[in-house]
A and B are shown apart, each in its own frame.
Chain A
Amino acid sequence: MKDFEGTLRMELRDKEYSEGYAESFLNSYIATQIKVIREQREMTQAELGQHVGTTQAGVSRYENVSYSSWSIKTLIRLARAFHVRLKVSFEPFGSLPEEVIRFDRKALERVKREDDPGLMEEPSPLLEAIVAAHPRPVDIGEWKVLMQGGQKKGTANGSSEVLSQIPESSLQQSNPQEALCM
């Protein structure tokens, strides 16, 4: 992959070549991300079409790496249907190889606003400690249990279980039991 990155970086020094590559990648990126997020939301093309005011055939046209007649208006409609924001940004050509290499299904998926960790309450030192003690992904239900004192089903006092996983140094500044009962 390093060889590929170097080759592409060298090729992109040619102005016309870089424009052709970047514009083609842009169209491929948008079409693929629409398909990936639609599948992530378990929507059919017809259902997405209803949300954005087009037909199944219209969505099928968007989900085509060769489609290039994008309008900001259409993309905003799609963003609203997916419960995400649209970001349009001008970038230098030198950042393209990394984007090409990073491109895959997982990198294109986006959480809905309801599950958006960035919209949760401001993280407290305790929250950060819990995150540090749980390197694996924590689902929303488990997260709420942790933040409400760790009272888990079948556990007399879930908070002690949670506390045992938090590094002591993270808990020195406050009474952990009080903090867990926010």
Chain B
Amino acid sequence: MAFDLYDFIDNRGENVLSGWVQGAGLTGRDRGALNQKIDMLQMHGSDLPPKLLAGPINKQRHVYKLIIHADKMLRPMLCKGPFDMGAEFTFLLGAIERNFKLDHDPSEATANREILLSERKRRTPHERF
């Protein structure tokens, strides 16, 4: 079964994940590893590939991290649904882990999810990098 993937749109109308990828200085190897995990999520969801998603993150009930070990430790944050929990995922925020710490607070992802729940248009089909 294929899943639908979406990216959150910020209050300036920009795709948060695309903006993150452009600004994070990812190498080709980072992009390859990132797209591989995203492809797997899109094609198989989170049940078949073991531990594809980590979470829910502490104190953020609906936020998961996609774990990518490449040149950088990429940790894009996402949620299941939030409208069709069994058929879609929405990327909420890009993040990188350094010394076991994320460079963005997961509560930002929760806030973006809350906005999305009240404004359904604040997401767009996932854009491939």
For B28, the closest partner residue in chain A by CB is: A16
Kindly specify which of B7-15, B43-51, B118-126 makes contact with the partner chain. Answer: B43-51
| Chain A binding surface SS class | helix
Contact A24 B50 (CB under 8 A): no
Contact A32 B29 (CB under 8 A): no
Contact B43 A14 (CB under 8 A): no
Residue tally, chain A, CB below 8 Å to B = 30
Given A16-B32, A18-B32, check contact A63 B51 (CB 8 Å).
yes
Contact B32 A64 (CB under 8 A): no
Complex formed: what's the CA distance from A36 to B49 in Å? Answer: 9
Complex formed: what's the CA distance from A30 to B89 in Å? Answer: 24
Specify which of A21, A28, A103, A104 is in contact with B32 (CB 8 Å cutoff).
A21
For B73, the closest partner residue in chain A by CB is: A66
Contact A19 B29 (CB under 8 A): yes
Chain B interface: which size bin?
A: 20 to 34
| B30 beta carbon closer than 8 Å to chain A | yes
Q: Specify which chain A residues have a CB less than 8 angstroms from the CB of B62 in the assembled complex.
A: none
Q: Specify which chain A residues have a CB less than 8 angstroms from the CB of B51 in the assembled complex.
A: 31, 63-66
| A23 beta carbon closer than 8 Å to chain B | yes
Interface residues of B in 88-129 (CB under 8 A from A): 128
| B40 beta carbon closer than 8 Å to chain A | yes
Contact A32 B39 (CB under 8 A): no
Among A17, A19, A64: residue with most chain B CB under 10 A: A17
Given A11-B35, A21-B36, A24-B36, check contact A66 B69 (CB 8 Å).
yes
Given A20-B70, A24-B37, A32-B48, check contact A103 B43 (CB 8 Å).
yes
List the 7 closest A-B pairs by CB distance, nearest first.
A20-B32, A16-B28, A20-B29, A21-B32, A24-B36, A17-B32, A24-B33
